[in-house]
Amino acid sequence: MSDHIDALAANVRRLRETHGLSLSQLGERSGIAKATLFKVERGRTNPTLDTLIAIADTFDVTVPDLIAVPARALVDVVRAGEGEDISDDASTGFVLRSQVIGAGTMEIHVQVFQKNKSETSASHGAGAREHVFVKSGTIRVGPVGEEVEISEGDYATYPADRTHRWQAVDADACVWIVHTFPRAAAFNDA
């Protein structure tokens, strides 16, 4: 259902902007309160059928068109700087993809760990693994007490179902991380 709420939010915002309307103007034309429209555009409400019909009628589209999830392109591209920001004091990074695969979940991150700063991550749950490819720099990674040092071009994988640590050595380190989770579970703190 979340996909349809997200699609509704994006579709209403796109239609409103295409028609050059403010939220207030859309509210006046549709008879829907501005506060409700605000929540719809942010995916923070599950609107009634009457609300959906009023919005659809205002834009002369059908309700199914209003909630339609856009078809995925055959080639999916995430551009540099896009994705969910997961930056903190020790690193800057983005979740590039989070996807259910079979009975599990996979997330792809790109992160830059800052020189001589350490980040400790809690367990990501039973059976979780991290697969790390170093794009540039040198970094110490792995379960606490069993960290290894890897450098540009190196790959390492280890169980992420226990506390593990990241620490760039001598300079910032840019890494690609693929997290795998055996069940479709939400990603814990990175």
Q: 11 near 19, Cβ under 8 Å?
A: no
Q: Is 3 or 21 the better-scoring residue by pLDDT?
A: 21
102 band by pLDDT with thresholds 50, 70 and 90: low
pLDDT tens string 103-132: 678 889 999 999 988 999 999 888 889 999
72 band by pLDDT with thresholds 50, 70 and 90: low
Residues 6+ apart with CB under 8 A from 153: 134
Q: Tell me how far the alpha carbon of residue 130 is from its chain's centroid.
A: 17
- Tokens at 84, concatenated: 């969910």
